[in-house]
Amino acid sequence: MAIWNPWHGCKKYSSGCQNCYVYRRDSQFGKDSSIVTKTADFGLPLKKNRSGEYKLTEKDNPVYTCMTSDFFIDEADAWRDEIWEMIFCRPELHFVIITKRALRIEQCLPVNWGEGYENVTLVCTCENQSEADKRLPVFLSLPALHKEITHEPMLSKIDISSYLASGQISRVICGGESGSGARICDYDWILDTRRQCIEAGVSFYFKQTGAKFRKDGRVYNIERKYQHSQADKAGINYEPDRISEVLQRLSRSDFRAMFHLNKTERLYIEEKGLDTIRSHAEYFIDKRLAPAVILNDGKQTPMRGHPVFIAQHACACCCRGCLEKWHNIEKGHTLTGSEKEYIINVLMSWIEIQLNFKEKTEE
Ligand code: SF4
Ligand SMILES: [Zn+2]
């Protein structure tokens, strides 16, 4: 990941800007954040090192663009065309542009934008319901090949289900507010957005808790250094594309495709319900797969006895070796909350596919 700030400084625009980190950081140096100026990094994508190679290469992707300003701020109108040209000249880099000014995007697009540049993701920030309802209809009406929504800082429960139903949004990111004057972010709002994403089949990412995080009615003050790791620990991220891609790959393996749920296992799931099966899966993964060191690694998952075991073999989530080979989750570390959540989602998706398959073949 790289950060490219072609200009610095911004004007506060809506309630989400109240505790803007650019203002907070600049004030420590007595700098006026409301003055927008070009930076020394203006031409970064075209800069080369001494050996004549580009400084930014594919391994720096994604390139977060304009993180100490807003890309579509009017003060930068005269400079933006040059920036678009640089973005166009570097198709191997992927630029992520996060903005609150969705209403200004259309007038700021380059002439050759067409349906959008393949190497640009536009992200619309909406901190509450009224901003979402102002910005998202406009955002959806724009041409762009990659669109995401972020609720950062998330200041209320936000219903975006009708916007997700458009099929245009590939991911939603949620997070709280940082800094000493931070406003509360409630876990229920986050979970509600996650539910909307799952229902719409859209990726969901809980990025950070913010400094004041409310869970079950209790407000926790979370130090900055823990705000990302605490969100990760919640293990609630959801990646439907990654899951369907891996399930497809697995179905092409003769060995993995050999595994099916038999009648007893299906009856067991019916009797217990999917929520209970999920909690069993959580328990098995926690005990047998999550530790950094597993003495019997490779042999810890029985071949029968529980539908989750069968799912683990079918999905290559049976041991850390298979996890590394099939899912790119390296051995030798304790599985993180998001990694565990991903594995459980893979297993439960496989189980659900098996159950539907049976229903279909019985019809
Ligand atoms: S738009 Fe972003 S950078 Fe600009 S003031 Fe608001 S929070 Fe800060
Ligand atoms: Zn294995």
pLDDT digits (tens, 9 = 90+) for 251-284: 999 999 999 999 999 999 999 999 999 999 999 9
Q: What are phi and psi of 11, to 5 degrees?
A: -105, 135
Q: Whose CA is nearest to atom 4 of ligand 1?
A: 10
Which residues span the domain enclosing 108?
2-239
Residues of the chain with pLDDT under 50: 360, 362-363
Residue 363 pLDDT: 43
Q: Provide the domain count of the chain.
A: 2
Q: Which residues line ligand 1 (CB under 6 A)?
A: 10, 12-13, 16-17, 20, 22, 69-70, 100
Q: Whose CA is nearest to atom 6 of ligand 1?
A: 17
Residue 35 pLDDT: 98
Q: Do 221 and 288 sit in the same domain of this protein?
A: no
Q: Do 196 and 299 sit in the same domain of this protein?
A: no
Residue 356 pLDDT: 80
Q: Whose CA is nearest to atom 3 of ligand 1?
A: 69
Q: Whose CA is nearest to atom 7 of ligand 1?
A: 17
Asked if 16 and 155 count as a contact pair (C-beta separation under 8 A), the reply is yes
Phi-psi region of 154 (alpha: psi -120 to 50; beta: other; left: phi over 0): beta
Last-in-domain residue among 208, 239, 270: 239
Q: Do 301 and 329 sit in the same domain of this protein?
A: yes
Q: Whose CA is nearest to atom 8 of ligand 1?
A: 20
**Pocket-testing residue among 3, 5, 11, 13, ligand 1, by greatest number of atoms within 8 A of Cβ:** 13
169-175 and 218-221 as β-strands: parallel, antiparallel, unpaired?
A: unpaired
Q: Do 119 and 268 sit in the same domain of this protein?
A: no
Q: Give me the sign of the Cα torsion angle 259, 342, 98, 103.
A: positive
Bridge partners of residue 214, in order along the sequence: 186, 219
**Pocket-testing residue among 7, 12, 126, ligand 1, by greatest number of atoms within 8 A of Cβ:** 12
Distance CA 308, CA 277 (A): 7
Residue 359 pLDDT: 53
Q: Which ligand is nearest to the CA of 21?
A: 1
Q: Which ligand is nearest to the CA of 318?
A: 2
Q: Do 193 and 57 sit in the same domain of this protein?
A: yes
